[in-house]
Structure 1
Amino acid sequence: MEVRCTSLDEVRQHIDEIDRSIVALLARRGNLVNQAAAFKQTTDDVRAPARVEQVIGKVRAMAVESGASSDVVEKVYRAMIAAFIAQELQIHAGKDAPARLPGSAQL
């Protein structure tokens, strides 16, 4: 749905609404990424370069269908995926760490 704005303030209001939606969707995506970490056995499974390229190809096609810049969408997705991979690697690294009781000394 394309919106025609009559002022910069109105443009900014619409951008703020979209940003709220994007952040909520990122939270949902992040939750799923966190769940995916439990299914992956190795850091190579986490990095999954073939899967990254599959996602990039898919979203570039979606961008064309939506009238968005496929280059911008690719850059945004590459940055987002890199951030989620870093988060997932942290989760994955903690998965193999022994549980520590609160207040226990670390060696």
Structure 2
Amino acid sequence: MQKITSLKFQKNKCDSLDQAREQIDALDQVLIELISIRQFYVDQAVRFKRTETEVQSPERVEQVIGKVRKKAEELGTDPDLVETIYREMIQHFIQRELKEIRP
């Protein structure tokens, strides 16, 4: 299995609003693809979980939040924004997983 370790994109100064929007639209497509892949692996992980506690795993949630906040800081991105996005995404995936394990 191939492990994704990093994606490298360049930040280029835009000469117009249209250029900026074009880059934003392209990145949105990549973000959606990455969320789709993340969902795939969440769906894989639920196969190994048996209880609501294993699904909700607050310690794992905090571990992930710590990692993404640190990465955001390293990249000069607002860590509070990243944390908010991740908490929302994780909650969505937890609800999705709970539907799978509940009879």
TM-score (norm: length of structure 1): 0.83
- Alpha carbon RMSD of aligned pairs, Å? 0.9
Q: In the alignment, residue 53 of structure 1 is paired with which amino acid?
A: E
Matched, 1:82 2:91: yes
With structure 2 as the length reference, what TM-score do the two structures score? Answer: 0.86
Provide the residue aligned with 1:57 in structure 2: 66
String of CA shifts for 1:33-55, please: whole Å, max 9, x gaps: 00111100101110111100010
Percent pairwise identity: 45
Q: How does 1:28-107 map to 2 (within 5 A)?
A: 28-93=37-102, 97=103
The one-letter code of the counterpart of 2:57 is A
- Give 4+ residue runs of structure 1 displaced > 2 Å after superposition: none
State which structure, 1 or 2, has the greater radius of gyration over its C-alpha atoms.
Answer: 1
Deviation at 1:3, TM superposition (A): 1.8
Q: Distance in 2 between matches of 1:75 and 1:10?
A: 28
The question of 1:21 aligning with 2:22 is answered no
How many residue pairs get aligned? The number is 94
Give the Cα separation in 2 of the matches to 1:27 and 1:34.
11
Residue 9 of structure 1 and its aligned partner are, at CA, apart by 1.4
